Amino acid sequence: MKAKTTDKIATFVICFFALFIVALLVGLLGFILARGVSHISFDFLTSAPQTLRAGGGIGPQLFNSVFLLILTLIITIPIGWGAGIYMAQYAKPGKITDFIRLVVEVLSSFPSIVIGLFGLLLIVNTFDFGFSLLSGALALAVFNLPLMVRTTEQAFRAVPKEQKEAGLALGLSKWKIITSILLPAALPSLITGTILAAGRIFGEAAALLFTAGMSTPPLDFTDWNPLHARSPINPMRPAETLAVHIWKVNSEGIAPDSKDIAAGASAVLVLLVLVFNLSARWFGRVVYRRLTAAKRMD
């Protein structure tokens, strides 16, 4: 009887905390969306912001956030996945491997403001990249690499050893085993890690203040030459992201509707993260099914 009572109490406590977390998330999302959705319109999403007059939008900042996400993932995914695969499949236990894990753990605990200052001193000033999208992407890559490395290593280590041993028994090379057997099994966890990293990229502001800058030059969306100064895909131009814009409007905005702009931009940022997460999970399921189907055919 005592065991059943303890089990019921434990189940109740666990369910309570789980529901509390869900309620907290729903409450935060509901509060942000309730304040900001009414200010979202096509003009708001496409027009440039206004400094003094009312009616400004977030078009350049929205584009900068998406473009910075793409640049950062292009840098982070190959390095993070490669380092994680090395740690899981190639690195031998020893002092060097332990030291690499220690470095990854230390990097993961760095505050984003420290990463931003590091990017300012090394990337912006020493490498002379200036305040640019590329500087911001490199700083965010340093910020997100520990997460990508750890999730990749854990994803590959979570695959049952029997699958790898079966591949070795068939005479497959280590690279073939990784790409054909381990990668499809680890893909859901890899996608989860990528989604977490992308969410941090969308919401990061402190590191970008010192690397990507707090302004955006007038952009010509008819010019897609990355070498032109006013081209939207020029990686060497300054770029104020949506998160930085929200901070700037809340702290320094002098337009009559600055609070409405901040609320609308916050709602757009939340919706953007939700849409990206759902799209990435759908894409991951599609890729996983195709890889599994191809594996069965082989």
Upper half-sphere CA count for residue 54 (Cβ side, 13 Å): 5
Q: How confident is the model at residue 131 (pLDDT cuts 50, 70, 90)?
A: very high
The residue extents of the domains of the chain are 40-297
pLDDT above 70: residue 138:
yes
Which pLDDT belongs to residue 297?
A: 62
- Indicate the pLDDT class of residue 136, thresholds 50, 70 and 90: very high
Q: Which two tokens stand for residue 43?
A: 């003009």
Tens digit of pLDDT for each residue in 7-16? 888 899 999 9
Superfamily of domain 40-297: MetI-like (1.10.3720.10)
Question: Where is average pLDDT lowest: 64-73, 177-186, 264-273?
Answer: 177-186
User: DSSP assignment of 273-290, as one string?
Assistant: HHHHHHHHHHHHHHHHHH
Give Cα 100 distance to the centre of its chain: 23
Q: Is the pLDDT of residue 279 over 60?
A: yes
* pLDDT surpasses 80 at 25: yes
Average pLDDT, the chain: 86
Banded pLDDT at 78 (limits 50, 70, 90) = very high
- Residue-level pLDDT at 79: 92
Q: How confident is the model at residue 220 (pLDDT cuts 50, 70, 90)?
A: confident
pLDDT in tens, 241-270: 999 999 888 888 788 888 888 899 999 998
Inform me whether the pLDDT recorded for 1 exceeds 60.
Answer: no
The confidence score (pLDDT) of residue 143 equals: 87
Higher pLDDT, 43 or 188: 43
Q: What is the DSSP letter of 211?
A: T
Give the mean pLDDT of 141-145. Answer: 89
Question: How is residue 273 annotated by DSSP?
Answer: H
The Cα-based distances of 213 to 8, 216, 217, 239 in angstroms read 54, 8, 11, 6
Q: What percent of the chain has pLDDT over 90?
A: 25
| Helix 183-203 vs helix 133-157: crossing angle, to nearest 10 | 150
Does this model's pTM top 0.95?
Answer: no
- Whether pLDDT at 295 is above 70: no
Distance CA 98, CA 127 (A): 31
State CA 237 to chain mean position distance.
Answer: 21
Mean pLDDT of the 148-166 span = 85
For the chain, how many residues are written? Answer: 298
What pLDDT is stored for residue 3 in this prediction? 74
